[in-house]
Amino acid sequence: MRLGWIDLLHFRSYDRMRFEPADGVNVLVGPNGAGKTNLLESIGYLATLRSFRGVADEVLIADDADEAVLRGEVTSQRGSALVELEISRSRRRRVLINGSKPGRTTDLRSYVRVVAFLPDDIDMVKRGPALRRGLFDDAAVQLWPAAAAEQRDYERAVAQRNALLRSGRVDRFTLQVWNDRVAHAGAKLMQRRRAAAEALMRHAPATYAAIAGRETPVELEYRSTWGGDLSDEDDTADLLAEALEASEGVDRERRQTTVGPHRDEPRFLVAGRGARDSASQGEQRTLALSLRLAELRAVAEVAGEPPILLLDDVFSELDAGRAKALAAALPGTQTFVTTARVEDVPLEGRRWDVTSGKVD
Ligand SMILES: Nc1ncnc2c1ncn2[C@@H]1O[C@H](COP(=O)(O)OP(=O)(O)OP(=O)(O)O)[C@@H](O)[C@H]1O
Ligand SMILES: [Mg+2]
């Protein structure tokens, strides 16, 4: 998969810009604040319709403008797609693919997928469980685009059950209805999370060994708040429904849904020890990178070709050996790498100088 070109209008620090990258590795070099991450973010947005920085659309519009426009051409085995996007402060976002509105936003993912390596990825390992749940859920969307709608269904069901609990007018019958919805949506979410975790863990020991330079056991432990786990599939909905019923008392008191996949705690283990509590900073970073590499391999398998790679400033934090190993583990696909110091990047490629608002 590759990006042929991208046009930006009033996107973040870019007033008007056209970028025609090379097919292989593109190294984007520039000082802090030059707009390197912004450019990567625009490519990610074009492919996924959301910012990898997790911010609201409005933040992407240049400060002095009312709307941002992104246009670009992406090519995969399926053919080429012209993607056009308009983000406005006052209107709904507009998306066109080859000139027409996509039936579902998932259509875009049949043309293009991206995997992004970000400096904050280490937080998946270091911080609370929400980011680890996010890793599985985001990977699931990249692997099976239909997972996105299932995740929204679950979030909505939990939000509505919570709204009922907060309303102070909780009757058993209505609560039962929402228990059922949460349980069914939760079972679907869990099925995807299981499959995504399995796909990632199938590759992670090898990708960890590739970066670290030695075999190290990498494991995943899934602690559930409701008795569900990553192995059995059949009775997930029943199990979750029972747990929801059992926690009705607590939930009424706390006015929120306290059990379910949205509270589960995935944990990574490196060499048998909890990575959050016991791994060194370098090991945590290696694990985060190996999980992204695992995602990349899983996505390439499912899509039948490697996705576009975005690497935001990832080499500067690694020692020379690990930086080289990471570079060697990447597939030969179109890659965008940002750096403030070009000597930190052990990849050969087309070099671009990024200055405020310009790339050449
Ligand atoms: N909506 C916006 N409108 C105008 N400028 C913006 C907007 N959002 C961010 N910026 C500016 O973009 C610049 C940051 O760009 P970016 O994050 O791409 O830098 P960078 O080259 O990646 O720097 P670093 O090397 O520090 O990571 C900041 O100066 C910021 O003020
Ligand atoms: Mg940056």
Distance CA 124, CA 231 (A): 22
How many CA within 13 A on the CB side of residue 339?
Answer: 19
Look at the block and give the residue holding tokens 């996924």: 48
Distance CA 113, CA 110 (A): 8
Handedness of CA 108, 110, 114, 115 (dihedral sign): positive
| The residue type at 167 | S
Cα(38) to ligand 2 centroid in Å equals 7
Could you give the C-alpha distances from 19 to 35, 71, 287, 352, 358, in angstroms and in order? 13, 11, 33, 10, 9
Ligand 1 pocket residue status of 38, Cβ below 6 Å: yes
Q: Report whether 264 contacts 133 (CB < 8 A).
A: yes
> Digits of tens for pLDDT over the chain (360 positions)?
999 999 999 999 999 999 999 999 999 999 999 999 999 999 999 998 899 998 999 999 999 999 999 999 999 998 999 999 999 999 999 999 999 888 765 578 778 899 999 999 999 999 999 999 999 999 999 899 899 999 999 999 999 999 999 998 889 899 999 999 999 999 999 999 999 999 999 999 999 999 999 999 999 999 888 988 887 767 899 999 999 999 999 999 999 999 999 999 999 999 999 999 999 988 999 999 999 999 999 999 999 999 999 999 999 988 899 999 999 999 999 999 999 999 999 999 999 999 988 999
Of 244, 317, 232, which Cα lies nearest the Cα of 281? 317
What is the reported pLDDT for 145?
87
What is the reported pLDDT for 230?
81
Q: What is the DSSP annotation of 122-153? A: HHHHHS-HHHHHHHHHHHHHHH-TTHHHHHHH
Distance CA 128, CA 132 (A): 8
Q: Whose CA is nearest to atom 15 of ligand 1?
A: 35
List, in order of start, the domains of the chain with CATH numbers: 1-113+316-360 (3.40.50.300), 121-306 (1.20.1050.90)
What is the reported pLDDT for 104?
60
Report the interhelical angle of 172-212 vs 281-303 (nearest 10°): 100
Q: Whose CA is nearest to atom 12 of ligand 1?
A: 13
| The residue type at 24 | G
| The residue type at 106 | T
How many CA within 13 A on the CB side of residue 240?
Answer: 33
What pTM value is reported for the model? 0.92
Cα(144) to ligand 1 centroid in Å equals 32
Residue 180 dihedral angles phi and psi, to the nearest 5°:
-60, -45
Of 303, 312, 310, 307, which Cα lies nearest the Cα of 333? 307
Instruction: Name the DSSP letter for residue 78.
Output: T
Q: Please work out, in degrees rounded to the nearest 5, the angle formed at the alpha carbon of residue 28 by the alpha carbons of 22 and 33.
A: 150
Atom index in ligand 1 nearest the CA of residue 39 equals 18
Ligand 1 pocket residue status of 213, Cβ below 6 Å: no
Can you say how many angstroms the Cα of residue 269 is from the centroid of all Cα atoms in its chain? 21
Ligand 1 pocket residue status of 37, Cβ below 6 Å: yes
Instruction: Name the DSSP letter for residue 211.
Output: H
Ligand 1 pocket residue status of 33, Cβ below 6 Å: yes
Q: List beta partners, residue 310.
A: 116, 336
Distance CA 60, CA 14 (A): 10
Q: Whose CA is nearest to atom 9 of ligand 1?
A: 12
**Ligand nearest, relative to CA of residue 353:** 1
Choose which residue among 28, 38, 89, 317 to substitute to test ligand 1 binding: the one with the highest number of ligand atoms within 8 A of its C-beta: 38
Atom index in ligand 1 nearest the CA of residue 338 equals 22
Q: If you count them, how many residues does the chain have?
A: 360
Name all contacts of 339-345 with Cβ < 8 Å and 24+ positions apart.
Answer: 339/27, 339/28, 339/29, 339/36, 339/313, 339/315, 340/29, 340/30, 340/31, 340/32, 340/313, 340/316, 341/29, 341/316, 342/27, 342/29, 344/315, 344/316, 345/27, 345/315
Strand 335-339 to strand 350-355: parallel, antiparallel, or no bridges (unpaired)? unpaired
Atom index in ligand 1 nearest the CA of residue 34 equals 21
Of 56, 175, 62, 54, which Cα lies nearest the Cα of 123? 54
**Ligand nearest, relative to CA of residue 339:** 1
Distance CA 18, CA 359 (A): 8
What is the reported pLDDT for 105?
55
Strand 79-88 to strand 358-359: parallel, antiparallel, or no bridges (unpaired)? unpaired
Cα(353) to ligand 2 centroid in Å equals 14
